[in-house]
């Protein structure tokens, strides 16, 4: 049960931007160096973040990426969604004999999986990017 690296790196990279941008575009090269993430991989990740309107890009020299929303408004769930990291942890067997349609026929564990989803989802829904930085500042 784990988050994939794309999602993890996305959160790390965006947190990095929130810390190190001074209202300027942040280049992937800088993020790559600071966070130790492959530049080529970051490009792939930011393509998705851009398509999903999490960041916008500035081309050319001194270019880079800028957060569309402020860290206070950017939910972690938005980031995960952009990377297709569905927080739907697991379903129940659909193709068993006594198949579970989720309504009239529910398998024994159906409600449990639903609760698990809600539990995890709400965590990501309620966390903002700025929340990650707060605990960082508290440490410094």
Partner DNA sequence: AAAAACTTGACTATTTTAGTCGGGTATATA
Partner DNA sequence: TATATACCCGACTAAAATAGTCAAGTTTTT
Site residues (vs a copy of itself, CB under 8 A): 1-4, 7-8, 11-12, 15-16, 19, 33-37, 80, 85-90, 92-93, 95-98, 106-109, 111-113, 115-116, 119-120, 123, 127, 131-133, 135-136, 139
Structure tokens at 29: 């090269």
- Among residues 57, 75, 114, 117, which is the contact residue for DNA, using CB under 7 A? 57
One character per residue 61-100, x = contact with DNA (rule: CB under 7 A): xxxxx-----------------------------------
Which string of DSSP letters, residue by residue, matches 68-136?
SS-TTT-BHHHHHHHTT---------SSSTT---SSSS--TTHHHHHHHHHHHHHHHHH-BHHHHHHHH
């Amino acid at each position: 049960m784990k988050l994939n690296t794309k999602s993890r790196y996305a959160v790390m990279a965006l947190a990095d931007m929130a810390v190190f941008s001074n209202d300027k575009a942040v280049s992937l090269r800088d993020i790559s160096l600071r966070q130790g993430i492959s530049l080529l991989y970051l490009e792939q990740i930011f393509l998705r973040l851009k398509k999903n309107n999490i960041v916008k890009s500035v081309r050319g020299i001194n270019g880079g990426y800028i957060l569309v929303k402020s860290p206070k408004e950017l939910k972690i769930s938005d980031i995960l969604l952009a990377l297709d990291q569905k927080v739907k942890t697991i379903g129940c067997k659909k193709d068993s004999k006594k198949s579970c349609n989720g309504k009239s026929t529910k398998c024994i564990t159906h409600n449990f999986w639903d609760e698990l989803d809600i539990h995890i989802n709400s965590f990501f829904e309620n966390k903002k990017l700025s929340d990650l930085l707060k605990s960082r500042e508290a440490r410094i």
